[in-house]
Amino acid sequence: MSESPTIPTTPTAGGAPASEPVVPAFSVLNGRDVLALLDGRERETIDRVARAYLAHEAGDTVNPDSYFLRFPQKPEARIIALPAYLGGDVEIAGLKWIASFPGNVASGLPRASAVLVLNDFATGYPVALMEAGSVSAARTAASAALAATTLGGGNPRSVGVVGGGVIARTICRYLAAAGVPLTEVRCHDLDADSATALADHLRERYGSEAAPAGLAEALDCDLVVLATTAAKPYVPADTRLRPGQLVLNISLRDLAPEILFEVDNVFDDVEHCMKADTSPHLAEQLSGGREFVTGTLAGVINGTVTLDPGRATVFSPFGLGVLDLAVGHDLYRRAREEGLLVELPEFFGETRRWPSSV
């Protein structure tokens, strides 16, 4: 059953509603409350992401291509629209509108900012607008932690993190919550201060033996997290990943495409990943086919995809809008229960199809 609000009507014998239709309230949820609702619920968020992946694999979602708004004068920046529908026991539609402006980092601002709109599936009415930079980071980190525990085949002795931003920090939090040990962590970033800040954070929060490291040292770890803003591959084609090694290819464009021909390649959605010059997209163009594709994470979870233990595994998630809906819907539901929503009762200008005077 859907937990989203609907517009109740009572039909008459002639088919017209006999009572006044009720327009659902439109509400806002601010970023401070989003963070509070997410805090300490990492395992629940991972579970919701897993269920969303399985619903997507079963065809119980609608997840169109993301739309990229780019700017000639700012080629590094973009704003992305991710519309989606998530069925099952959720039944919610919506849109994440997320900006990625790497230039923000130099002034101390986070690279990404976002909002999430939720639409009632029964009526189509928007029912909520929430700050979604934290939602996006949480669903990305939950996806990474799910992949680490599903594909890792055991606890890694070492973790290499390439990229020292908000996403990397959040992924580490979710890895720890999922039981992945952060005992030995090697942090690499082109900005040495970012790598040092991440290492300091991991030592203070998790007691990790964390330290800044070179790229080769980070890539040699049992579990590698790629969380950069790279626009094109920089990890060279002659890099060889060893059997049992797991690479979470979160930023999607770090690896030379040739590397993917020698590993098991697992995706969140194959079609979505084969675009926008991601490493898998470049591999498809280079090889002329998709023989390098192993399957999806949901396929591994439900047992229809088997990994080769003699190979490394690379998980490449394009990032599905249905994951934002899964996390956002739960936040909306709990915010209603806890009285955290700010309702705007007169948000919709017209609440009747015909005015009563007509």
With tokens 């629209």, the residue in question is 81
- Considering the entire predicted model, what is its pTM? 0.91
Residue 346: predicted pLDDT: 87
Residue 271, C-beta contacts closer than 8 angstroms, at least 6 positions apart: none
Q: Is 26 helix (H, G, I), strand (E, B) or coil?
A: strand
Domain limits, CATH 3.30.1780.10, in the chain: 26-135+321-344
Sheet with 209-212, side-by-side order of all strands: 209-212, 184-188, 159-162, 223-226, 246-249, 313-316, 264-267, 293-296
Q: How far is CA 135 from the centre of its chain?
A: 8
Residue 2: predicted pLDDT: 39
pLDDT, averaged per 10 consecutive residues of the chain (358 residues), comes to: 40 44 86 97 98 97 95 95 95 97 90 96 94 97 98 90 96 97 97 96 97 98 96 96 97 98 98 96 98 98 96 97 98 97 91 71
Q: Which phi and psi (to 5°) does residue 267 adopt?
A: -125, 165
The first and second tokens of residue 140, run together, are 């990305």
Q: Which phi and psi (to 5°) does residue 295 adopt?
A: 160, -165
User: CATH classification of 153-316 is 3.40.50.720, yes or no?
Assistant: yes
Counting other chains too, the contacts that 281-284 makes at CB distance below 8 Å and 24 or more residues apart are 282/233, 282/257, 283/257, 283/258
Q: Is 334 helix (H, G, I), strand (E, B) or coil?
A: helix
Cβ(187)–Cβ(213) below 8 Å: yes
Q: How far apart are CA 152 and CA 133, in angstroms?
A: 28
Residue 347: predicted pLDDT: 93
With tokens 């595994």, the residue in question is 313
Nearest to 208, CA basis, from 158, 152, 276, 267 = 158
Could you tell me the fold of the domain covering 26-135+321-344? ornithine cyclodeaminase, domain 1 (3.30.1780)
Q: Helices 42-57 and 321-337: crossing angle, nearest 10°?
A: 130
Residue 304, C-beta contacts closer than 8 angstroms, at least 6 positions apart: 295
Please write the tens of the pLDDT for every residue from 188-228: 999 999 999 999 999 999 999 999 999 999 999 999 999 99
Going by their DSSP bridges, the two strands 112-120 and 92-100 should be labelled as antiparallel
With tokens 């609608």, the residue in question is 62
Residue 354: predicted pLDDT: 79
Domain limits, CATH 3.40.50.720, in the chain: 153-316
Q: How far apart are CA 333 and CA 326, in angstroms?
A: 11
With tokens 């330290």, the residue in question is 211
Residue 353: predicted pLDDT: 77
Nearest to 247, CA basis, from 275, 218, 272 = 218
